[in-house]
Structure 1
Amino acid sequence: MLRTIKIAVLGLAALATMQACTKDDVLELEPEFTLEGLQSPANIDQVEQVLLGAYARFRDANYYGSGSGTGGGWSMMPDVMSDNLYETRSTLANSRTMADWTYNQNTGQVSSFYSVPYAVIANANLVLRDIDKYTTTANQGRANRLKGQALAIRAQAHFDLFRYFAINYDRNGTTPAVAYVEEFVLPSPNAVQPPRMTNKDFYDNLFADLGQAATLLADVDQPINPAGALTRPYIDLAGVYAIQARTNLYAGQWAEAATAATNAINLRPLVNGVTNPAAFAGMYNETNAGEIIWNVQFESGQSGPTFLTYFATNRRSYFRPAPEVADTLGTTGLIRNNDVRYTAYFSPISDNNSRGLAITKYRGKGANVSDGNANFPVLRTGEMYLIRSEALARSGQAGPAMQDLNTLRANRIAGYVAENLSGQALLDAIANERRRELIAEGHRFFDLKRTTRTIQRGQVCGTDLSPSGDCTLEPTAREWALPIPETVVRANASQQQNPGY
Structure 2
Amino acid sequence: MIKHIKKAAILLLAVSTFGCSESFLETYPSDSVSTAEALSSPKNMMAALNGVHRAMYGQSTFEDYSLAAEGYILPMMEFGASDALHSTSGNGWFRWNLRWLVHTDPNDSDMEYVWYHHYNIIGGVNNIINAAEGMTVTPELANVLGQCYAYRAWAHHRLVTLFAKSYTYGNPSSDKGVPVMTKTAAPYEGLSRGTVEDVYVQCEADIKKSIEYFAEASKPEDNSHISVNTANGIAARIALTKGDYENAAKYANAARQGYSLMSEKEYKAGFNNFEDTEIMWAGDIIPDQTTYYRAWFYYLGTNFNGSQNRGNPKFINHELYSLIDDNDYRQDMWLETAPNSIDVEFDQIGDEPSNDDPVISGDENYATRGEFWAAWGKVIEEYDMTSSFNTYPYMSVKFLNANGGTIDPDDVLYMRVSEMYLIEAEALAMQGGKDDEAIAVITELANARRKDESIAYDVNARGLSLIDEIKVQRRVELWGEGHRWVDMKRYDEALDLTNSGADETLYQKGFKQDKPSVNDAWIYKIPQAEINANPNIGEGDQN
Q: Which residue of 1 aligns with 2:479?
A: 439
- What does 1:19-418 align with in structure 2 at a 5 Å threshold? 37-38=34-35, 40-41=37-38, 43-44=40-41, 45-60=43-58, 72-103=71-102, 104-132=105-133, 135-136=135-136, 140-170=138-168, 172-186=172-186, 190-221=187-218, 223-226=219-222, 232-271=223-262, 276-282=263-269, 284-286=271-273, 289-300=276-287, 301-303=289-291, 304-310=295-301, 312-314=304-306, 316-318=310-312, 320-324=314-318, 333-335=322-324, 338-343=327-332, 348=338, 352=342, 355-356=391-392, 357-365=394-402, 370-371=406-407, 373-396=409-432, 397-414=434-451, 415-418=455-458
Superposed displacement of residue 41, structure 1: 1.9
| CA offsets 1:151-210 (integer angstroms, 9 cap, x no match) | 111111111111210122248432011111111135xxx533311111111111111100
Q: Name the CA shift for 1:68/1:86 in 2 (closer, same or farther; >3 Å).
A: farther
Q: Which residue of 1 aligns with 2:353?
A: none
Q: Name the CA shift for 1:202/1:497 in 2 (closer, same or farther; >3 Å).
A: farther
| C-alpha contact (below 8 Å) 1:162/1:177 kept by paired residues | yes
| C-alpha contact (below 8 Å) 1:255/1:391 kept by paired residues | yes
* CA distance in 1: counterparts of 2:333 and 2:427, whole angstroms: 28
Superposed displacement of residue 380, structure 1: 1.3
Helix, strand or coil: the match of 1:266?
coil
| CA offsets 1:443-490 (integer angstroms, 9 cap, x no match) | 1111010012311114356648x6221311112222211010111011
Q: Which residue of 1 aligns with 2:468?
A: 428
* CA distance in 1: counterparts of 2:326 and 2:274, whole angstroms: 22
| CA offsets 1:405-444 (integer angstroms, 9 cap, x no match) | 2211111132343224999711111111111011111111
Greater CA drift, 36-45 or 340-349: 340-349
* CA distance in 2: counterparts of 1:294 and 1:267, whole angstroms: 14
Alignment TM-score, normalising by the size of structure 2: 0.76
Q: Name the CA shift for 1:440/1:325 in 2 (closer, same or farther; >3 Å).
A: farther
Matching residue's letter, 1:159 = H
Q: Name the CA shift for 1:413/1:375 in 2 (closer, same or farther; >3 Å).
A: same
Helix, strand or coil: the match of 1:393?
helix
Matching residue's letter, 2:533 = A
Helix, strand or coil: the match of 2:38?
coil
Runs of 5+ unmatched residues, structure 1: 18-31, 227-231, 327-331
* CA distance in 1: counterparts of 2:69 and 2:156, whole angstroms: 22
Structure whose CA Rg is larger: 2
| CA offsets 1:115-149 (integer angstroms, 9 cap, x no match) | 1111111110111011245x34xx71111011111
Runs of 5+ unmatched residues, structure 2: 14-28, 345-389
Helix, strand or coil: the match of 2:49?
helix
Q: Name the CA shift for 1:462/1:235 in 2 (closer, same or farther; >3 Å).
A: closer
Alignment TM-score, normalising by the size of structure 1: 0.82
* CA distance in 2: counterparts of 1:437 and 1:119, whole angstroms: 31
Aligned length: 459
Sequence identity percentage: 20
Q: Name the CA shift for 1:143/1:14 in 2 (closer, same or farther; >3 Å).
A: closer
Give me the CA root mean square deviation: 3.4
| CA offsets 1:39-78 (integer angstroms, 9 cap, x no match) | 6525313222211111111114589xx9799984542222
Q: Which residue of 2 aligns with 1:20?
A: none
